[in-house]
Amino acid sequence: MARRTLIQAINEALRQEMRRDDRIVLLGEDVGRVGGVFRATEGLQQEFGPDRVIDTPLAESAIIGAALGMAVYGLIPVPEIQFDGFLPPAFDHIISHVARIRNRSRGRFTAPMVIRVPHGGGIRALEHHSEAPETFYTHIPGIKVVIPATAYDAKGLLISAIRDPDPVIFFEPKRIYRAFREEVPEEPYTVPLGKARVAREGNDVTLIAWGAMVHVALAAAEKAAAEHGWSCEVLDLRTLSPLDIDAIIASVQKTGRCVVVHEAPRQSGFGGEIAALIGERALLYLEAPVVRVTGFDTAMPYFTLEDYYLPSPERVLKGIAQVMNF
Amino acid sequence: MAQTRGKRTRTASRRVEGWIKPVEPEFETIQILRDDGSYDEASLPDLTDDQMKELYEWMVFARILDQRALNMQRQGRMGTYPPVGGQEAAQVGSAYALEKEDWLFPSYRESAAMMVHGMPPELTFLYWMGREEGAAAPEGVNVFTISIPIATQVPHAVGAAWAARLRGEKKAFLVYFGDGGTSEGDFHEGANFAGVFKAPVVLFCQNNHYAISVPLERQTASRTIAQKAVAYGFPGVRVDGNDVLAVYAVTREAVERARRGEGPTLIEAVTYRYGPHTTADDPTRYRTADEVKEWQERRDPIMRFRRFLESRGLWSEAQEEELQERLRERAAEVVRKAENYPKPEPTNMFDYMYAELPWNLKEQREALLQELAERGEAR
């Protein structure tokens, strides 16, 4: 065991997988020589050479388009899109080809690849550097959407994503890239995709979150217990698509109340999907309507105001109070 | 600001203007067969008489199949179809330059090129009849699936070509797109990647002068498409796309350059589509009958090549009749195969979305099966 930050865990996962399987190549803007703007790929070009850790021209559409060509030709590309706000130019390839090529070709061509994207706000960055676009991708059949909240999961989920036969968008909560260190096994291991994690057990209300918001939900649970004596269960989804519906329903059946927390705007956000699923499958267990604590339906503000935008433990606590007092 | 500007003007006072010169690169259009079928012996590519006749057969077959597809669409037996007519030389000549192990990345109008590279035409028919089973070539046929979003196949081909190079293989990757495609960001990004990584790719533009209704001059202010290669740092070449021998010769050279590791080539094949963009289009709204007639009567790729073959004593009226009859039968067989292909299971739509079906798709698949059972359509 070693104590690792989330980004160190990602670096280690990439390094160990690349040692195991020489079909894996990394490509993207600044991933090689400089090791990525967040240093996720630090030292990898030195170890694996410029043909496996490839600094590409600055073109997100072609990074994903070329990665698709590599994937159908037998490589396992792990492209990095430098920031969440620069993912839109690649959207066409993701929705039109990456997600569809297995189906279009009746399985002759497949696109095993992991698109790594730093995710979310809270680092006082520029415009387009603090977005939470996961919902767009959960709406696309044919890809998987993964987002870890801990260093342990970051390593295990990334290794699973790389070994998965289907394309995965792997969001990395950049706000907690270096926020804490935790015990991470040195050997490679996997954390299964499609399985949520109970981050804290509780009986009165289920808080559902992913990525950096898991820690906000945990802080809110702490407050709820200390200030009101409410027992919150915190469910870290880890994979948004395919969703761990069983874990959600089991927890809600136990608690009868649910608050979903996400950074992205509320309207048509993933919280709505979760609320609908709970309504369809566990309505009679509910003591209160599912409440969403989310970003506002505004553009992500510049960093001076971002703390007002992002859900805080206090705001989540208000959501908890709403379902507790319904 | 004003001060700085003043200073600059003074420094350059002896020459205020004239620093910027128009850049007008010259790209001749390579032709081996003149419009009337005449030629210079020395410029003929290294092809046997049988190969020449094979080229001719492919072009004639492509035109016959194209006619069948158009007729079937009118009869409601096929969906929207993008005809090839007029572009047979550009497609047959280029695809014929590939070896079997090379790869072909088509856009949606490459029925003829795909067939020459081994795609069974009945599958292409099936595709246009609305069936996914027709999208992928059989194992061993190196044809990628059709890309409908314009020019998106360019970075795909570049990525695959680059992967082949990384794996130490010596193969060429031929990717097709149209004049309209060169306006897309993906053309630029793909070409730029290809240049930077010296990918073994041949970028083949069929310049048929129209992107649906928009003419070439509204697509680009460049005098040629070939010249765009200059900016990407690799050769561009302009060829008469209705001259099958010139298309073959130029593509062959580009393919060999790619295989030798010398990097990409951009080929602009100047051609013309006789028909509509697709069967849903009405070309009389944007081009004149005279313009179409001019290409059909004076520059038809098949007539031109037939005259050439006749002038070399390789072709006769009797051979033509025999060929027409034989290919019409083969076309009928293609249609028969496509139309008799087993009906798809409605649940097929679920089966290839993921390697393993997630719970939500499983539930929805079950619901569809239930619905089919209720409708008495259970299988």
The 10s digit of each residue's pLDDT in A52-106 is 999 999 999 999 999 999 999 999 999 999 999 999 999 999 999 999 999 999 9
Report CB contact under 8 Å: A62, B135.
no
- Residue B189: its chain A contacts at CB < 8 A? 57, 59, 61-62, 65
Q: A281 exposed, middle or buried (CB, 10 Å; 0-12, 13-18, 19+)?
A: middle
Work out whether the CA dihedral B198, B200, B206, B210 comes out positive or negative.
negative
Which ipTM did the prediction report? 0.94
Residue by residue, DSSP assigns A77-120 as EEEE-SSGGG-GGGHHHIIIIITTHHHHTTTSS----EEEEEE-
SS3 B177: strand
If you ran DSSP here, which 8-state letter would residue B285 be given? G
Sign of CA pseudo-dihedral A49, A166, B122, B283: negative
| Residue B8 to chain A, least CA–CA distance (Å) | 33
| One pLDDT digit (tens) per residue for chain B, 379 residues | 444 454 555 555 677 888 998 888 899 999 999 988 889 999 999 999 999 999 999 999 999 999 999 999 999 999 999 999 999 999 999 999 999 999 999 999 999 999 999 999 999 999 999 999 999 999 999 999 999 999 999 999 999 999 999 999 999 999 999 999 999 999 999 999 999 999 999 999 999 999 999 999 999 999 999 999 999 999 999 999 999 999 999 999 999 999 999 999 999 999 999 999 999 999 999 999 999 999 999 999 999 999 999 999 999 999 999 999 999 999 999 999 999 999 999 999 999 999 999 999 999 999 999 999 999 986 6
As annotated, the residues of chain B forming the CATH 3.40.50.970 domain(s) are: 29-38+45-339
Give the helix/strand (H/E) hosting B194: helix B185-197
What are the strands, taking DSSP E only, across B23-74?
A: 29-30
In angstroms, the CA B13 to CA B6 distance is 10
Is A197-324 in the same CATH topology as A2-184? yes
Q: Do A65 and B159 touch (CB under 8 A)?
A: yes
Nearest C-alpha in B relative to A107: B352
The structural architecture, per CATH, of the domain A197-324 is 3-Layer(aba) Sandwich (3.40)
* CATH number for the domain formed by residue range(s) B29-38+45-339: 3.40.50.970
Contact B352 A103 (CB under 8 A): yes
| CATH class as words, domain A2-184 | alpha beta
Contact of B272 with chain A, judged by CB distance below 8 Å, is answered with no
The 8-class DSSP code of residue A38 comes to T
What tokens appear for A164 in the block?
Answer: 């998965």
Confirm whether B277 is a catalytic residue. yes
Cα–Cα distance measured from residue B105 to residue A72, given in angstroms and rounded to the nearest whole number: 12
Of A146, A140, A85, the C-alpha closest to A115 is: A146
CB proximity under 8 Å: B 129-188 to A: 132-133, 135-137, 139, 144-145, 147, 149, 152, 154-164, 166-167, 185-186
Low-confidence ranges of chain A (pLDDT < 70): none
**CB–CB contact B152 A93 (8 Å):** yes
B273 belongs to the catalytic site: yes
Hey, are the CB atoms on B190 and A67 less than 8 Å from each other?
no
Instruction: Find the catalytic residue in B277, B299, B304, B306.
Output: B277
Q: Confirm or reject contact between B19 and chain A (CB < 8 A).
A: no
Terminal Cα-to-Cα distance of chain A (whole angstroms): 45
Q: Compute the distance between CA of residue A108 and CA of residue A106 in angstroms, rounded to an integer.
A: 6
Task: Decide if B193 touches A, using CB distance below 8 A.
Answer: yes
Q: What is the DSSP string of B324-344?
A: HHHHHHHHHHHHHHHHTSPPP
Size of interface A-B (CB pairs under 8 A): 130
Q: Where are the domains of chain A?
A: 2-184, 197-324
pLDDT of residue A1: 80
Choose among A65, A73, A194: nearest Cβ to B186: A65
Contact B193 A66 (CB under 8 A): yes
pLDDT of the residue at B379: 62
Please give the Cα distance from B147 to B161 (Å, whole number).
17
Supply the pLDDT for residue B17: 85
